[in-house]
Homo-oligomer: A and B are copies of this chain.
Amino acid sequence: MALISRKIAEALANGSMVRKMFEVGRELKAKHGAEKVFDYSLGNPDPPPPPAFHEKIRELLAQNRPGLHGYMPNAGWPEVREKVAAYLSQKVPAGVPSFTPDNIVMTVGAAGALNAILKSLLDPGDEVIVLAPYFMEYAFYVDNHGGILKVAETDPSFRPDPEALLAAMGPRTRAVLVNSPNNPTGAIYTAAELRAVGEALTLGSAKTEKPIFLISDEPYRKINFTGTEAPWIFAAYPYSVMATSFSKDLSIPGERLGYAAIHPGLESLEGAGLSAALTLANRVLGSVSAPSLAQLAVCDLLEIEAGAKIYERRSALLSRELRALGYTLTPAEGTFYLFPQSPIPDDLAFVDFLRESLVLAVPGAGFGRRGYFRLSLCLDEGAIERSLPGFARARKLALARA
């Protein structure tokens, strides 16, 4: 390790709990057979991409237009940004101005969008607040750009707590990062909750030199079981920017395609320059641009979604069965995650009991909330059914030995 940077060496020593479980899973599968191991650890969408995705690619290859695989403006193909802007304009509530292509920057997934956003906003030492439990990669993304991660807790049902949020804000707060539909809890914030978050940011901005930004990470937006569209941050707060991807919508996480969308009132609000900043950040962070063929393939598939119904059935099935086994959990409103309570306070120990029963999960500690564990529903209903004895056994073992 002697040769690498201190931060990377430290991160490697700590490891990613999700990824570690991924490795453990490979070993267990090799030993016991893949069908005997129930891997709820990694969120790797398993429904096939919609057939239209391959059709679009075939069509583009057949057209073979010059520059199909060439450089385009760093913000992405203008026609793609045009279509995304039109799509969003039609989606957001009345009162939010229409999006233009200038509000859209195509990125290498939502992770690429978040990194470009954070690079655009943060000076060294600036703080970014996340609502716990939260996706742990955020800590890296904030640190990449010299930022400091601060945590505000959500309430026991994982709803945002505006007072806790306001209390976490200080003179160096530069942004609040929310994630709804939420990984790991499956919570979808209501319009009223987002407005309350927005009000907290307005109040918090009184303590800071510049308005605090609301960053919303929304890759799970279309995996929504509530029957009503997930509310938009753009209606809740003006200094807002969204990061999203096509990874979950179209089951194409390996193709690395997403975008950032800037509140359309923002550029005019005070010539914030965020559009140019995001474009530059996207370029210099190493992405240069989002992948070309994928951009052109998805831009006519903005309404499509590959697996929400599948995930909804899995989520209902496993929630019901886990409760029947004595587990306590808040039902997910969306995403392909469940975040049940650990039957014993030590979630790390409980996840070991699960693993002994050939069920792989990630401890709540991996999301900044002890006493819970995350299940990723990227395996089919048959496998979920077959995994239930493992959940029963792990709970019994844990309670007996605790």
Q: Could you tell me which A residues sit within 8 Å of B by CB distance? A: 1-9, 11-12, 19, 42, 44-46, 48-49, 53-54, 57-58, 61, 64, 66-72, 74, 107-109, 111-116, 119-123, 137, 140-141, 144-146, 210-211, 213, 239, 250-256, 270-274, 276-277, 280-281, 283-294
B5 and A287 contacting across the interface, CB-CB below 8 Å: no
5 shortest A-B CB distances, which residue pairs? Answer: A254-B292, A115-B286, A140-B284, A69-B252, A3-B272
> How far, in angstroms, from A19 to B283 measured CA to CA in the complex?
11
- Could you give 8 example pairs across A and B, Cβ below 8 Å? A5-B119, A9-B277, A69-B251, A108-B288, A141-B284, A146-B146, A256-B291, A287-B287
Contacts of A141 in B (CB 8 A): 284, 286
Chain B residues within 8 Å of A284, by CB: 11, 137, 140-141, 144
- B9 & A273 in contact (Cβ 8 Å cutoff): yes
CA distance A146 to B146 in the complex (A): 9
- Chain B nearest CB from A128 CB (Å) reads 12
Closest to A209 in B: B2
A285 and B115 contacting across the interface, CB-CB below 8 Å: yes
Partner of A254, one of B53, B72, B239: B72
Q: Are B11 and A280 in contact (CB under 8 A)?
A: yes
Within the complex, what minimum Cβ distance (angstroms) separates A125 from chain B?
Answer: 11
The answer to whether A280 and B12 have CB atoms under 8 Å apart is yes
Are A270 and B69 interface neighbours, CB within 8 A?
Answer: no
Contact (A57, B61) CB under 8 Å given A70-B44, A286-B287: yes
Q: Which residue of B lies closest to A253 (CB)?
A: B71
Tell me the smallest distance from the CB of A2 to a CB of chain B, in Å.
Answer: 6
Q: Is the CB of B120 within 8 A of A8?
A: yes
Chain B residues positioned under 8 Å from A239 (CB to CB): 3
Chain B residues lying within 8 Å of A112, measured Cβ to Cβ, are: 286-287
Find the residue from A49, A286, A288 having the highest chain B CB count within 10 A.
A286
Chain B residues positioned under 8 Å from A288 (CB to CB)? 108-109, 111, 253, 256
Q: Are B285 and A3 in contact (CB under 8 A)?
A: no
CB distance from A350 to the nearest CB of B (A): 26
Q: In the complex, are the beta carbons of B210 and A2 less than 8 A apart?
A: yes
Docked-complex contact B119 and A272, CB < 8 angstroms: no
- Decide yes or no: A69 and B253 within 8 Å by CB, A123-B6, A273-B12 being known contacts: yes
Bound-complex Cα distance A4 to B123 (A): 9
Q: Which residues of chain B are near A123, meaning CB under 8 Å?
A: 5-7
A30 to chain B, nearest CB (A): 14
Q: Roughly how many angstroms separate A72 CA and B247 CA in the complex, as a whole number? A: 13
Q: Roughly how many angstroms separate A294 CA and B251 CA in the complex, as a whole number?
A: 16
Within the assembled complex, what's the spacing in Å between the Cα atoms of A111 and B282?
11
Given pairs A3-B211, A109-B286, A255-B291, 17 additional interface contacts (CB within 8 A): A1-B271, A2-B272, A3-B274, A4-B273, A11-B280, A11-B284, A19-B74, A48-B64, A57-B57, A70-B252, A71-B253, A108-B108, A108-B286, A114-B286, A115-B286, A255-B292, A256-B288
A139 CA to B71 CA, complexed, in Å: 21
What's the least CB distance linking A123 to chain B, in Å?
Answer: 5
A140 to B277, CA, bound (A): 14
Q: How far is the CA of A369 from the CA of B344 in the complex (A)?
A: 66
CA A159 to CA B269, docked complex, whole Å? 51
User: In the complex, which of the residues B8, B64, B120 contacts A4, with contact meaning CB atoms closer than 8 Å?
Assistant: B120
The CA-CA distance from A64 to B55 in the complex, in Å, is 12
